[in-house]
Structure 1
């Protein structure tokens, strides 16, 4: 049961509204899907803010029609994301730069910055991110847009990446810093998603959410394949399906 996952004094104790800040469609499910489903089942109001449409993601062969341009790939990934969130039970979703996650009157579409592999398991910036990329944006603008979502949704807690972005993707790293800045400005506590070896991490296991998580992962068919207990990414990398999320508090709520 979800109640068994929430422990006294933890970052999730007594939380009624949680905003997850992620970079691309499928990140929310891979990194935090079980936690999202568990919180939603418990009656916590969950929102997911996605920064980009994952325009530069590779595509699993045969999952989408061949020759899709960036616009149609974006639309396909939006649909996959919506279907995955339905499986997880998240009640609210927004794209960064689009109301309610927009501080300016003119909407903005942040694009996937892309990445390049520096070594196995560690990504770095792509050589051709382009002027529309999330990482090319003024960080203050990104912070303000996250802040607009905070104002509208009024979360008790923000959850996003750690300083390394999980595996180094530049969009993840940028959102780590921007989410902290937006949380501090709004006085909302922030927790980061950390690896198993991280000190001071709180572990939230939600094995009862495995079936919902697998269904949600399967909705992201253009990006990954579920193979038994593993996720197989479009590039062939394998990782175990995670029903445990480790969080570390960056900022606790101010009085």
Structure 2
């Protein structure tokens, strides 16, 4: 059977996909799915570490695109597309056109499931907040009829609002894969190590990739626990 493009991840920067959902992506790929990734920027304003310390924004964007290709190969992502909007300035991009770009990506692959940031961006990063808003608007606009589910990565704000994960992935069994994908984003290694440590082992406080089911076929915040993002698809 030909694998299908059922699941898409819509994030702001290269490395967001591995931080939030690297093991989930790899699991989907191992199950025969063809997960796809849309990034709003190429990460051209990211922290410049090591050999990239003196790169221009344009050179950093090119480097991070290559790093993303390596991470995608590790995670089993056959498709990565970049909108190329200015890093750090997504909240300045004209919204209607931005939503249309996201909707076009979703419709191109006929996605049934979409993952993105929660409304608070997870850490209140303006770019994360902006892409969450665009992905949510596209999914709920009626312009993406194939989408049945929208998941948000869990955040403290969601927990404070009483939301719980519908889907949780234990990263420990696949930590080596996630660590390799993180290492592929070498220009950002200092930020990565601040979050995950030296990557030699799975840190207990970063062990789980968790996602709230924000929307399912027109219903906001359905209360359910799932074993897979593919559960109950029609």
Report TM bin, short chain. 0.7 to 0.9
Distance in structure 1 (CA, Å) of the matches to 2:115 and 2:60: 27
Query: Where does 1:157-196 land on structure 2 (aligned, <5 Å)?
Result: 157-184=113-140, 185=142, 186-187=144-145, 188=147, 189-195=149-155
Between 162-171 and 239-248, the greater mean CA deviation after superposition? 239-248
SS in 2 for 1:158: strand
Distance in structure 2 (CA, Å) of the matches to 1:34 and 1:26: 13
| Residue-by-residue CA offset, 1:123-165 (whole Å, 9 max, x unaligned) | xxxxxxxxxx321111111110000001111111000001110
What runs of 5+ residues in structure 1 fail to find an aligned partner? 1-14, 97-108, 114-132, 233-238
Q: 1:224 aligns with which of 177, 189, 199?
A: 189
Residue of structure 2 equivalent to 1:245: 209
Q: Which structure features the higher share of helix residues?
A: 2
Give TM-score scaled by structure 2 length.
Answer: 0.78
Q: 1:72 aligns with which of 50, 59, 71?
A: 59
| Residue-by-residue CA offset, 1:75-115 (whole Å, 9 max, x unaligned) | 0011111111111111111112xxxxxxxxxxxx31101xx
Distance in structure 1 (CA, Å) of the matches to 2:133 and 2:35: 21
Residue of structure 2 equivalent to 1:92: 79
Distance in structure 2 (CA, Å) of the matches to 1:159 and 1:58: 25
Between 182-191 and 87-96, the greater mean CA deviation after superposition? 182-191
What runs of 5+ residues in structure 2 fail to find an aligned partner? 219-233
Distance in structure 2 (CA, Å) of the matches to 1:26 and 1:134: 17
Q: Is the 8 A contact 2:5 2:36 kept in 1?
A: no
Is 1:152 matched with 2:118? no
Residue of structure 2 equivalent to 1:20: 9
Q: Which structure features the higher share of strand residues?
A: 1
Structure 1 residue 43: deviation in Å?
A: 1.2
Q: 2:30 aligns with which of 23, 31, 41?
A: 41
Structure 1 residue 243: deviation in Å?
A: 4.7
Distance in structure 2 (CA, Å) of the matches to 1:25 and 1:206: 20
